[in-house]
A and B are shown apart, each in its own frame.
Chain A
Amino acid sequence: MQFAKDSFYIALRERLQSLNPSRTIERNGVSRPAILVAENELPSSAPRSLDAYYIEFGEVVPTKSQGEQPLMCMECFLWYQTQGDSESAIDRGRKLGLLDLDLMAICEPPYARKRNFLVSPSADLGTGIFWSTPVLEAAKERAMVDGSRQIERWARVLLYFYAEVIPQ
């Protein structure tokens, strides 16, 4: 399951990097594509970054399949927020639309190879992963303590994969 999560993240990260190289965030002094897995980040009291995608993983259930190995289905949530580029934040809705557009673009095509990225070079694990088209939930606006307004959205994707075969 971990390899499926890693492969999903790396696929989206590489696509975002080529689609929109300017969409980056600074983490620990290093610039990287503005997509990250929340559970892989260092715990911090800092608020989440603006204009970046946070991936969170949800429920995993086996689907009804005929093969020897069950096809697993995992919920993936992508969360992002923005306050726009202008001081007045009047363009926050338009900026959220651009984030939506980039998200839909990096989710196509909806498949990738499942690989082990902990070895160098990464190793193909022999199967693939594929996912559903993102469902964009209603955008929510939040008033911040400093008076600014931010708008955020959750997107839901179903990720399908075969569980890893553990050698005996």
Chain B
Amino acid sequence: MSSSAELRGITSAAVVRAANAMLRTLGGGEIHLLLPAHSLPGKTAVELGAVDPGVEDVTLGPVIIRTLPTDNSGPRRRSEFLIPASAVDSEMTSHNANSVQSLLDSALGIVCEGQMYRIEGMTSEQFAGTTYLYRVTGCY
């Protein structure tokens, strides 16, 4: 049975494409998600912090970056990264993550304009049960 959205001629796939196009039109740039390399064997030396797993640089785009206000006592800069679902979902699949949240949880941070942002949190925008946009908040 079709959802009401499909009956009106809008499918969730169309919204995903529309979000992608909108972010690209607004001048979407690129950010880099730093992930630990995957070839970590389950060895004692790893658990003792004696083996550097290295990092993998994953480029995400198109992304819009919004600057958020910060407290005087808080981080120097806080930003919100608007990332289309199409960009994140493909990386989620290729990195064997079972959700975008777990992919971001495993990330060491986001590199944007040469600055390393620590990931604070993530929310998603959905339409007809499909996520079309992720809002990731980071700070340094």
Contacts and interface: CB of A to CB of B under 8 A. Distances in A.
A40 B49 contact: yes
B100 interface: no
Given A28-B38, A30-B40, A46 B106 contact: yes
Contact of A118 (B48, B109, B121): B48
B54 to A, nearest CB: 11
A46 B105 contact: yes
A42 B54 CA distance: 11
A40 B50 CA distance: 8
A36 B105 contact: no
B48 A32 contact: no
A37 B45 contact: no
Contacts of A39: 49
B96 interface: yes
A152 to B, nearest CB: 19
A9 B80 CA distance: 39
Contacts of A46: 102, 105-106
Contacts of B108: 42-44
Given A32-B42, A42-B108, A45-B119, A118 B36 contact: no
A37 B107 contact: no
B105 A45 contact: yes
B89 interface: no
B104 A40 contact: no
A10 B50 CA distance: 14
A6 interface: yes
B47 A37 contact: yes
A45 B104 contact: yes
Contacts of A117: 44-45, 48
A44 B105 contact: yes
B106 A44 contact: yes
A10 B44 CA distance: 8
A53 B1 CA distance: 48
Interface of B: 36, 38, 40-42, 44-45, 47-50, 53, 96, 102, 104-109, 118-121
15 contacts: A9-B47, A10-B48, A13-B47, A28-B38, A28-B40, A29-B96, A36-B47, A40-B49, A42-B36, A42-B106, A43-B108, A43-B109, A45-B105, A45-B120, A46-B105
Q: Which 7 A-B pairs have the closest CB atoms?
A: A40-B49, A46-B105, A30-B42, A45-B119, A28-B40, A6-B48, A42-B36
Given A13-B47, A42-B53, 6 more contacts: A42-B108, A44-B106, A45-B104, A45-B105, A45-B119, A118-B45
